[in-house]
Amino acid sequence: MRGGLTGLLSLLLGVAAPMAAQQGDVDVERYRFYLTLPDTGKHIRVQSTTIFRRDSTNTALRLDLLAPMAVRGAYLGCATALGTPFRFDGRVVTVPLGEAGATGDTTCVSLIYEGEPADGLVISTDSAGRWLAFGDNWPDRARHWLATVDHPSDKALVEFIVDAPATLTVVANGTRRGLADIEPSAAGPRRRTVWETAEPIATYLMVIAAAPLVETPLGETACGYAALQRCVPQSVFTAPEQARYMPGNFARAGDIVRFFAQTVSPFPYERLSHLQSATQFGGMENVGAIFYADGLFRRPDGVGVGLIAHETAHQWFGDAVTEGAWGHLWLSEGFATYFAALYTQYAMGDSAFRAEMANIRQKVIRAGVVAARPVVDTAQTDLMELLNENSYEKGGFVLHMLRSEVGDSTFFRAIRAYYEAHRNGNALTGDLLAEMERESARDLGWFFDQWLTRPGYIDLALRWEHDIGAGSLTFTVTQGDRFPPYRFPLRVEIVDANGVATQALLDVPAERAARIVVPGRWTAPPLAVRPDPMVELLAAFRTS
């Protein structure tokens, strides 16, 4: 660590280390879920297998699972599994492991359980009466239907084996490895679908969709920019009546993936599907299977390009690199917000990008949570409350200011280094700081401190004075007393008496009022002064 990451700041921002979420002696390597979905109703049956490594002191495996799911049996062993005692208190399944094994030993525990999930796997019918089931796990709702170590800091491979009515299309994370008819039920034909991931993912991203979906292939996209194969296969899955309107804005999906792959790193997963779903969110970035709210597909303009870009950016930030603790959610949502804006810049130009950043800034300034709480909010225990303007808009604008602070080449070089260092793992804010300091060879602790560990934004009044005798132009920058004073660079556009615009960069100290003389000789007062013409600063401006 460089000098900026010390003391209290180190504690607040953290540095991620390899760990298991709730039991530091267990590292889950793979989950296998064999799900039997009903023809009607909400009762599901699950056989799960958890394959994990243990250390020499580990005597039990504890998996999160919530009632009303009921555990019928537990089995210990990999090649040969034998029935074993277990304890289930309605929140956690505890399976004793017997004699302690050597550190690194691979162990398997299988469970059989069933019931009607209260949440997590959302089972319903649509307006046409068609049966639907969609996983909706964020933040810690996987435990309603999947027995897991349900925390983002313990990633694992996942395999879904789903037996369902043959009228349903089943989509999940990874690659479809199998599709076969099985013995029918009294209600009609049934089919088994197998999906499997090649990379470990967080439990909140492990989902299935089972619905009468119609696939619209988008083809092999972003060829040459995929980590696991040459191209990224993409598809859109919709209700039958929406299929004729596809691909709509999803025609841009290949261009979006290619842009992020060129900017950051090759696409990290096997494929990317976009699904009309029953998620409670506008979009949910499940690995390789993005779920979008049903109603978005029923609007005349469909799912917006900005939302597609936001959820796609999550495949890198949030999915491949996942926050190691919920209070650092901005590493997911702030990144997706800013990288979606970067796609706007790439696709529509600088003016559209600045307009988007100005809109993001206004959302931050208007939000009460920004004035009350910091971006890195480790004190917030209601995880849904973290879905706010701090995590999204302020987090995104902080990245924008950081880019301005260190310069484009350093910023993107550090972003790529941060991504590669933590891909398929976890990160905390201190990990990003470390990469930015390493690439810039600068102490940036002050920047991360003032923008991420304390509430607020700059409340700024700007006044200028021209001394005709001295030919000088002096700015007085005054910061309000609502928040502690900030240190920042302020770009000012000055239109001189001849109508020529020039820009000056003022290095503003963390003081309530600072007087700064603009270099050069100014023979006449300016015709106009415009602060922050490039929309680079998170500030509410007042000029005089």
Whether 55 and 103 have beta carbons less than 8 Å apart is answered as yes
11 and 69 belong to one structural domain: no
369 and 482 belong to one structural domain: no
Does this model's pTM top 0.85?
Answer: yes
104 and 137 belong to one structural domain: yes
Quick one: pLDDT at residue 127? 82
389 and 490 belong to one structural domain: no
Specify the CATH number for the domain of residue 529: 2.60.40.1840
Whether 176 and 219 have beta carbons less than 8 Å apart is answered as no
Amino acid (1-letter code) at residue 174: G
Specify the CATH number for the domain of residue 368: 1.10.390.10
- 278 assigned to some structural domain: no
38 and 131 belong to one structural domain: yes
The answer for residues whose C-beta is within 8 angstroms of residue 237's C-beta and 6 or more apart is: 169, 171, 209, 213, 214, 215, 216, 273, 274, 275, 276
12 and 99 belong to one structural domain: no
- 124 assigned to some structural domain: yes
- 296 assigned to some structural domain: no
412 and 493 belong to one structural domain: no
3-state secondary structure of 59: coil
Torsion, CA 117, CA 171, CA 340, CA 142, rounded to 10 = 20
**Residue that terminates a domain, selected from 193, 212, 231:** 212
Domain containing 42 equals 25-212
Half-sphere exposure of 172 (CA within 13 A, CB side): 34
Quick one: pLDDT at residue 19? 42
**Residue that terminates a domain, selected from 452, 487, 516:** 452
- 245 assigned to some structural domain: no
How many domains does the chain fold into?
3
Quick one: pLDDT at residue 4? 47
- 262 assigned to some structural domain: no
Give the tokens for residue 117.
């999930």
- 312 assigned to some structural domain: no
Give the tokens for residue 409.
């080449």
198 and 59 belong to one structural domain: yes
How buried is residue 346: exposed, middle or buried, by Cβ count under 10 Å (0-12/13-18/19+)?
Answer: middle
367 and 516 belong to one structural domain: no
Whether 321 and 427 have beta carbons less than 8 Å apart is answered as yes
382 and 469 belong to one structural domain: no
328 and 412 belong to one structural domain: yes
107 and 11 belong to one structural domain: no
- 466 assigned to some structural domain: yes
- Rounded Cα distance between 107 and 58, Å, is 11
Quick one: pLDDT at residue 25? 66
User: Of 92, 73, 194, which Cα lies nearest the Cα of 150?
Assistant: 92
pLDDT digit of tens for each residue in the chain (544 aa)? 444 455 556 667 877 765 444 445 689 999 999 999 999 999 999 999 999 998 878 889 999 999 999 999 999 999 899 999 999 999 999 999 987 656 678 999 999 999 999 999 999 998 889 999 999 999 999 999 999 999 999 999 999 999 999 999 999 999 999 999 999 999 999 999 999 999 999 999 999 999 999 999 999 999 999 999 999 999 999 999 999 999 999 999 999 999 999 999 999 999 999 999 998 999 999 999 999 999 999 998 999 999 999 999 999 999 999 999 999 999 999 999 999 999 999 999 999 999 999 999 999 999 999 999 999 999 999 999 999 999 999 999 999 999 999 999 999 999 999 999 999 999 999 999 999 999 999 999 999 999 999 999 999 999 999 999 999 999 999 999 999 999 999 999 999 989 999 999 999 999 999 999 999 989 999 999 999 999 999 999 976 5
**Residue that terminates a domain, selected from 162, 193, 212:** 212
Work out the end-to-end distance of the chain between its first and last CA atoms, rounded to an integer number of angstroms.
43
- 403 assigned to some structural domain: yes
